[in-house]
Amino acid sequence: MQEIAIVDYGMGNVRSVQKALEYVAPNEHIFLSNDVDLIANADRVVFPGQGAIGACMQALNNHNLLEVIKQSAQEKPFLGICLGLQLLFDHCQENGGVAGLSLLPGEVVHFPKSELKIPHMGWNSVNQVAKHPLWHNIDNNSRFYSVHSYFVKTTDDEIISASSNYGIDFTCAVAKNNLFAVQFHPEKSQHDGLQLLKNFVNWHP
């Protein structure tokens, strides 16, 4: 039985992530935690997040979770979701500018002004620009559910795993070694989202 920790720092729809993982992996031990030791000793780590990035970083600091997240993202199968993607990068424009974890190179920027509604909310096609085990049994251009006003601009094209379009093309999934992170919400994306979570549980980087 695998120990799969979902980082719980008081923000994000962590219960939905937990229920979705339990559905696709009923024989694994899936738990919410802000305990550094439990997260450090887990076999896999999921890092979800919703809301403002400044408050998110403050909550992570308050729970002393920054180092264990960095360590997990470098050492074991690791899945970032929504803010859990954005926080992996160097910097975000939100809240007057917030430093990220600098695990991946790039910046998180606001969607440009246009006639499109911001935040980007709803279903959107995901173009798989690079093969990856987490896309197993998921058709290219499958639709996933997103809610966000900011998106990642990375300086390393090699980590881009998928893109979407909302007025502009933007990166919606990245992958590097044992790390995979998505802008969309697999736990809210029905069959394909559940398949991605199942692929994560079975992934051996």
* DSSP secondary structure, 183-197, as one string: SSBGGGSHHHHHHHH
CA-to-CA separations, 82 to 27, 37, 115, 125, in angstroms, rounded? 26, 24, 23, 16
Task: Supply φ then ψ for residue 75, to 5 degrees.
Answer: -125, -20
CA 2 to chain centre: 20
- Residues marked active site are found at 82, 185, 187
Which pLDDT score, from 0 to 100, does residue 81 have?
96
Which pLDDT score, from 0 to 100, does residue 116 have?
83
Supply the DSSP string of 28-85, one letter for each residue: SEEEEE--HHHHHH-SEEEE---S-HHHHHHHHHHTT-HHHHHHHHHHS-EEEETHHH
Q: What is the pLDDT along the chain (205 residues), one digit of tens a residue?
A: 999 999 998 877 799 999 999 999 999 999 999 999 999 999 999 999 877 888 888 999 999 999 999 999 999 999 999 999 999 999 989 888 889 999 999 999 999 988 888 898 999 999 999 999 999 999 999 999 999 999 999 999 999 999 999 999 999 999 999 999 999 999 999 999 999 999 999 999 9
Contact 17, 187 (CB under 8 A): yes
Task: Supply φ then ψ for residue 121, to 5 degrees.
Answer: -135, 120
Which pLDDT score, from 0 to 100, does residue 132 have?
98
Cis peptide, bond prior to residue 48, ω within 30 of zero: no
20: left (phi over 0), alpha (psi -120 to 50) or beta: alpha
pTM above 0.85, yes or no: yes
- Token pair in block for residue 17: 């992530």
**Beta partners for 80?**
47, 181
